[in-house]
Amino acid sequence: MRWVSRRGQTGAVGGASVDVSLLFADAIALLESGLPPIRAWTLAGVPVDSKGVPLADAPVWNGGRTAAQSVAAACTLARDTGMPLARVLARVDDAVARDRDARDAAEAQLAGPRMSARILRWLPLVGVGLAAAVDPGALGLLIASPLGWAMLGGAGLLTWLGSWWMSRLVKAATVSASEGLPVPVVLALVDAALAAGLDVSTALARTADAADPRTAGPLRALAAAHAYGGTAPDLEGPLVEALARPLALAQSAGAPAGHGLRAAMVRLDRDARRDAARSAGELGVRLALPLALCLLPAFALAGVLPLIVAVVVGADLGSLDVPTPASVAPTPPPPP
């Protein structure tokens, strides 16, 4: 399955902007035509090292480290197992597509709350503008009086506190880039190693050799446990949970692990989308807290209260001559 990212990681090849998904497609097509990996990557516009592995820091990836690391791991695994690189890349292509689509969905879910947070930061300044438009004396009060300075200082402090609070909420809800290879990519690599005819422990060991150090540790522990027919007791995380059941069936009954691994990829994709939707919904509600406790009081201090004070001062109520009952002359009775 080949994918085209809607947001699109792009890189410059010969002065043109190339989508990373197209690099996958070009490399797979060139490899399936019978070209060696070094020649295929060169024709696709991807620089490689002396072993034919694409350089992870090449400008063609345009900062897309996930795709670069996945391709490098696929090339290393294909070289170590003897499996055709095109088949490994096809599996990795599908896995990278799932990971990228899940992240795009998360970003789309958070776009609305994130934009709301940016707009709400300007609410106190809008209050100042409205007060100045209704009564210019309110602006003079804010600029030229100690009371106005105190109002501006309080509004500024509340605005900063509300902005900081909202930034923390948005950052907590944002899906951060994972260190190392995404779990779907690791599952695809293990599936490719098993498809090459390797047993479970060897497939895990070869995948660990191709993966980054953070991912290699759990894979090597699982490989050692399966080599001796046991289980790795103190391992946790989505990768171990996704690998446990399919590999246990493959180890004990010889059942193909590919179906279970692909089902785990689908489940991880579904969980990621559900978590993104839940985080976006919770963020929309949580943003009401800094709005109610910080930004609305700042709006009142910078806009509403100066307007009220300016109206009271401008009315000059103390100079009004209010008649008293003693000063009112009695009304003469009507003639009979």
Kindly report, residue by residue over 170-186, the tens digit of the pLDDT: 888 876 656 678 888 88
User: Quick one: 136 exposed, middle or buried, by C-beta within 10 A (0-12, 13-18, 19+)?
Assistant: exposed
What whole-number distance in Å separates Cα of residue 235 and Cα of residue 219? Answer: 10
Model pLDDT, residue 63: 59
Domain region containing 176: 93-313
- The answer to whether the CB of 141 falls within 8 A of the CB of 310 is yes
Model pLDDT, residue 161: 93
More confident residue, 256 or 77: 77
Residue 317's pLDDT band (boundaries 50, 70, 90)?
very low
What whole-number distance in Å separates Cα of residue 195 and Cα of residue 172? Answer: 39
Model pLDDT, residue 333: 59
Range in 169-173, 219-223, 248-252, 302-306 with the lowest mean pLDDT: 248-252
Residue 138 lies in a domain: yes
Residue 74 lies in a domain: no
What whole-number distance in Å separates Cα of residue 31 and Cα of residue 188? Answer: 19
**167-to-77, 116, 229, 237, 287 alpha-carbon distances in Å:** 41, 11, 49, 28, 10
Residue 6 lies in a domain: no
Whether 254 has a pLDDT exceeding 60, the answer reads: yes
What whole-number distance in Å separates Cα of residue 46 and Cα of residue 39? Answer: 10
Q: Provide the CA 215 distance to its chain's centre, in angstroms.
A: 21
Mean pLDDT of the chain: 78
More confident residue, 82 or 180: 82
Domains in the chain, number: 1
